[in-house]
A and B are shown apart, each in its own frame.
Chain A
Amino acid sequence: MREFMQYVRNAFYGATGWSEDNSYKDLNVTARELIDFPLPRGIRLSLSSLATPHFATSYQLCNVGVVDGSISYLHSSVPLTAVPAQSDRIPLGALMRSYRGLHQLGSRGGTAWSWETGPQAGTTPQVPAFADVDRIPNKDKSSLLYGRLYLPQSLLEAMVIKRFSSTLQVQISAVSEQSLRNGGTMLSVVQYDRGNYGIEGLYSTDGGLLGLRGLYNFGGDASVAALSAQNGPGSPESVEKERIYGRFSAGGEMYYGTLNKSGGMSVGARFATLPTHKGTPLTATLTINPLMGNINTTYSLLAKDFLAMATRMEFNAYSYESDWAVGLELWSNRRPAGFLLGAEPSLALESAESEPPIKKERSFQAKMEWRLDDPEPEPIKDVEKPTERKEEYLGVLKARLSSNLNLGLVWEGRAKSLLFSLGTGVDLQRLGEPFRSLGLEVQYSS
């Protein structure tokens, strides 16, 4: 489950029409989120609020043996008016869904942020906040300020996101803590996104690390023909290209620490289906680190709307070490803890849906004219059904298993207006005391 502040930050990205598809850092983010989801530890309570459209606060209290907490504030220059912030109205997909489909290229700012409501969002934009993105005044000069103070440790996190134009964005994040060298560290990232390619340059004060990342899209909607087809559809070339309902991306990263004279690099590629694809959405990535001999492949797919799966395999060509992990995400429309709350939601739905058809009398006029009644107009309910089905998911079960037989299980869901996340880590190799961690997270926002 994402934290409220991250949700707001994503909403800011959505509101300003910034997509993270073209960041090489997030090349395999779908598989990573499906497999490496965080397990809650201890008890954590968060109380958050989007007090004004510009301002959000969040307070957190944790108890993992010791009690600590954090206070965070966020300010956005873009009004996040239509973002649902109440914990009983937040779309669960925005907080919990791991499978992240690609955005439509060229539709920047319009139907972006399919993450919010699932892969089909590209076709049917649901969230009004981002449908009228274009109406937001000077969103190209927007900025976001974020600060978080962890209290007993007095660790301070700060982040500034500043958009300079529709394609250029600077992101500076800093951490201040006493135990760190020089008392803290700062990372600044310059992001340049041209739609079909994106470049990032970064500098970290810690070790003077310089980095350069880039991603280039080709094939599918990113190909020249497809781009031209968007402008003038109907050419036979574009029809030919339409058969590939996916986009290829290739990129690389390079780092060099100017102070410690060390570096690293990797190259990667991704294939992901486009939102327009009618079949099963899937994402496959391959990253290679030629210096360290590391090969990493992931494959994730959205088998059904309620089921997403991912696998990851790693192999090191130098040390012959290998690793694998699988992850699974299963959505459920059962009400969480329904047996406790008494009501069976599916029953309520069925009763609403299968109400006995009322046997109508033939109208007097029809009888007089020796004919049957006009057929009743089709209920509009069927049209609205997809949206309802989206929202009827009430919980999600996430599971992962890695090669050292560590099983992670998390159930996340909403009960009343509280968002719960209950998770445990199980070590299958030591069945004597299998539970290695247990945690409960409760989140409330208004």
Chain B
Amino acid sequence: MAFNFNWSPLTADAGFYERARDLLTTALNKSPKPPIIVDDIFVTEFNLGSVPPDLEILEIGDLAEDRFRGIFKMCYSGDAFLTLKTRVQANPLNTYLSGKPGFASPEPLSASSSLTIPLQITLSEIKLSAFIIVVFSKQKGLTLVFRNDPLESLKVSSTFDSIPFVRDYLQRTIEQKLRDLMMDELPAIIHRLSLQIWCPDQIVKEDEEQSKETVDHTVNPLSTPPLDAVDAEGRLLDPAAISELSLETGAETQSLFSQKSLFKLSSLTSTQETSSLFTPSIKEVMYRAWAGPSDRVDTTGTPGPATPSLHRTTSYTNGTAHTYTFSDTASQDQGHLPSRPSMVSLNSATAGLSLGSGRHSKAGRKKKTRVVNLRGKTTSEGGSEAGESSETASTSTAPASEPIMSHPILEVPEEEMPASSNKVRFGGSHLRRPSFRGDREPAKVSETPVPSIEISAPNTTQKQPTRQSSPVDIKVPADWSRPRAPSEISPSVILEQAWVMKMAGEIARRVYDEKNRNPQFWEERDDTPPPAYEPRP
């Protein structure tokens, strides 16, 4: 799978730089400035350069026509530059006195007289390396969040380059300010820009609190073509081709979807808007609810210890991600795809899923995930004599209608299964994933040559503090409890997810400890774990 980034159209647009300059100027002047800066900061020059950033897809969490969520790794060492102009106070005594109470001020007569100096700062040779979470939704616009501090290095050249003290100070201050800008302001800027581009009505709605609920809340995912459409080979599609594909223009494409299945889909949608427990079943459809936990059993081989009730809710929310049925059906019959209106964005999913067959051939050979079912155990928690059950992913028909309860499973230490992990690297080499929880060390991921769209949770290992003697590690898939909001991906979702994950991990560990203390308590819940889900090759 590949994305084509058109770096040049950004620069070709004449108004783009002007807009960007204005946005940057307002962003820089918004926060209260230190007393050394006595004037507004103006962005005089801004150029993105000709070298595009390197993007590496780490994970695609959600993919549909009208929304997208994924994690990227971005590296940038291009020739972009930015020139700022402002005026600074050159008298250190003047800045020293500002903000000090006048009562205990030494009250210098003229030693604190001001000397303002125009200052021009050029930021160049910007080196960025960041993990980016991109959440896009047609309704909510584009949200971009940096998981870590993106700024690696930066060259600050200014009017004061000849004075090393001032130069170092400026370098330090500007790096800090830029870090804040990247982490706090840039997501907001991008969000506003995306709102302007994709949903200007949203801004209107935000401005005037008119509750225009009638504005089509259930957006037909096929109604509007995507902006930067590429076909399966990654070529850009011209708008004419897109309009051919679009649902509105081509009447014959409408017939590709039968009215019946569309009705079923809409009823499925409407169930998510009520608290009804009834979920209509659709044939030949993989529900995310089924796919979710077992899929992750497949990928990580070890579902984490979890409280069943908690997991039930998550699987319920997982079930609300109904759009996944689209991608899966699409993946099942690829022959229809080129004529599908939703092809463009589905293609990426399809490509990944179809490539999954290669993985399975491999997985069938190599995969020997040794899992320990805790529920089978009664008293002895040594972990060495734990019942082991090797699960090979084989089923393609997922068990229906019942939310899956995941069960805490102990796993034999990782060294025993070096090749069993079927993590997917797009870039390839050993690299450490960003840990979703700061207190857990990310596991090293073994290299798998076959690319796949398999969305793997970060494999975080964790030592049990209470049982030091046990050689057993608990592996917790980090996103096993991530709530899937149906179409409400807002900027705060990511924060929420992180929090929920942290909380869920905490709860899971508590429950696990509790269970270790009296295993009888959990005895009656002994039911066989559901077979894991694997997409049909």
User: Taking beta carbons and an 8 Å cutoff, which residues of A are in contact with B?
Assistant: 24-25, 27-28, 155, 157, 159, 173-175, 177, 180, 185-187, 189, 202, 204, 206-207, 209, 211, 213, 253-255, 257, 260, 262-266, 268, 287-289, 291-294, 296, 314, 316, 318-319, 321
B104/A173 in contact, CB under 8 A? yes
B111/A266 in contact, CB under 8 A? yes
A24/B111 in contact, CB under 8 A? no
Determine the chain B residues whose CB is within 8 A of the CB of A288 once the complex forms. 110
Cβ of B25 under 8 Å from chain A: no
B106/A204 in contact, CB under 8 A? yes
Q: How far is the CA of A207 from the CA of B96 in the complex (A)?
A: 8
A266/B108 in contact, CB under 8 A? yes
Select from chain B the residue with minimum beta-carbon distance to A27.
B109
**What are 25 contact pairs spanning A and B, CB under 8 A?**
A25-B107, A25-B109, A173-B104, A175-B103, A175-B104, A180-B101, A206-B96, A209-B106, A211-B106, A213-B109, A253-B110, A255-B106, A255-B108, A257-B92, A260-B96, A262-B93, A262-B96, A263-B92, A266-B111, A292-B90, A293-B115, A294-B110, A294-B114, A296-B113, A319-B117
CB-contact partner of A264 in B101, B107, B112, under 8 A: B112
CB-contact partner of B104 in A27, A28, A185, A314, under 8 A: A185
Q: How far is the CB of A175 from chain B (nearest CB, A)?
A: 4
Q: How far is the CB of B21 from chain A (nearest CB, A)?
A: 26
Cβ of B269 under 8 Å from chain A: no
Determine the chain B residues whose CB is within 8 A of the CB of A292 once the complex forms. 90-91, 113-115
Cβ of B6 under 8 Å from chain A: no
Determine the chain B residues whose CB is within 8 A of the CB of A185 once the complex forms. 100-101, 104
Cβ of B124 under 8 Å from chain A: no
Determine the chain A residues whose CB is within 8 A of the CB of B109 once the complex forms. 24-25, 27-28, 213, 253, 266, 268, 287
Select from chain B the residue with minimum beta-carbon distance to A251.
B109
Q: How far is the CA of A185 from the CA of B259 in the complex (A)?
A: 77
Determine the chain A residues whose CB is within 8 A of the CB of B103 once the complex forms. 157, 159, 173, 175
CB-contact partner of B96 in A209, A253, A291, A319, under 8 A: A209
Cβ of B116 under 8 Å from chain A: yes
B92/A316 in contact, CB under 8 A? no
Q: How far is the CA of A155 from the CA of B102 in the complex (A)?
A: 12
B104/A204 in contact, CB under 8 A? yes
Determine the chain B residues whose CB is within 8 A of the CB of A293 once the complex forms. 115
Besides A180-B100, A204-B106, 12 other A-B contacts (C-beta < 8 A): A24-B109, A187-B105, A187-B106, A206-B100, A206-B104, A209-B96, A253-B108, A262-B93, A288-B110, A292-B90, A292-B91, A296-B113
User: Taking beta carbons and an 8 Å cutoff, which residues of B are in contact with A?
Assistant: 90-93, 96, 100-101, 103-117
Determine the chain B residues whose CB is within 8 A of the CB of A24 once the complex forms. 109
A318/B115 in contact, CB under 8 A? yes
Q: How far is the CB of B56 from chain A (nearest CB, A)?
A: 44
B116/A319 in contact, CB under 8 A? yes
Determine the chain B residues whose CB is within 8 A of the CB of A319 once the complex forms. 115-117
A289/B110 in contact, CB under 8 A? yes
Q: How far is the CA of A287 from the CA of B101 in the complex (A)?
A: 24
A262/B110 in contact, CB under 8 A? no
Q: How far is the CA of A288 from the CA of B115 in the complex (A)?
A: 13
A177/B113 in contact, CB under 8 A? no
Q: How far is the CA of A209 from the CA of B93 in the complex (A)?
A: 10
B115/A175 in contact, CB under 8 A? no
Determine the chain B residues whose CB is within 8 A of the CB of A177 once the complex forms. 101
Most chain B C-beta atoms within 10 Å of own C-beta, residue among A175, A186, A292, A319 = A292
List the 5 closest pairs (A to B, CB-CB), nearest first.
A262-B92, A264-B111, A266-B110, A264-B93, A294-B113
B110/A287 in contact, CB under 8 A? yes
Determine the chain A residues whose CB is within 8 A of the CB of B112 once the complex forms. 264
Q: How far is the CA of A288 from the CA of B467 in the complex (A)?
A: 75
CB-contact partner of A296 in B107, B108, B110, under 8 A: B110
Determine the chain A residues whose CB is within 8 A of the CB of B106 once the complex forms. 187, 189, 202, 204, 209, 211, 255
Determine the chain B residues whose CB is within 8 A of the CB of A157 once the complex forms. 101, 103-104
A255/B93 in contact, CB under 8 A? yes
Determine the chain A residues whose CB is within 8 A of the CB of B115 once the complex forms. 292-294, 316, 318-319
CB-contact partner of A211 in B108, B113, B114, B116, under 8 A: B108
Determine the chain A residues whose CB is within 8 A of the CB of B104 once the complex forms. 157, 173-175, 185-187, 204, 206
Q: How far is the CA of A257 from the CA of B95 in the complex (A)?
A: 12
Q: How far is the CA of A318 from the CA of B117 in the complex (A)?
A: 9
Q: How far is the CA of A204 from the CA of B117 in the complex (A)?
A: 28
Determine the chain A residues whose CB is within 8 A of the CB of B93 once the complex forms. 255, 257, 262-264
Q: How far is the CB of A187 from chain B (nearest CB, A)?
A: 4
Determine the chain B residues whose CB is within 8 A of the CB of A316 once the complex forms. 113, 115
Determine the chain A residues whose CB is within 8 A of the CB of B113 once the complex forms. 266, 289, 292, 294, 296, 314, 316
Q: How far is the CA of A268 from the CA of B110 in the complex (A)?
A: 8
Q: How far is the CB of B148 from chain A (nearest CB, A)?
A: 30
Q: How far is the CB of A339 from chain B (nearest CB, A)?
A: 38
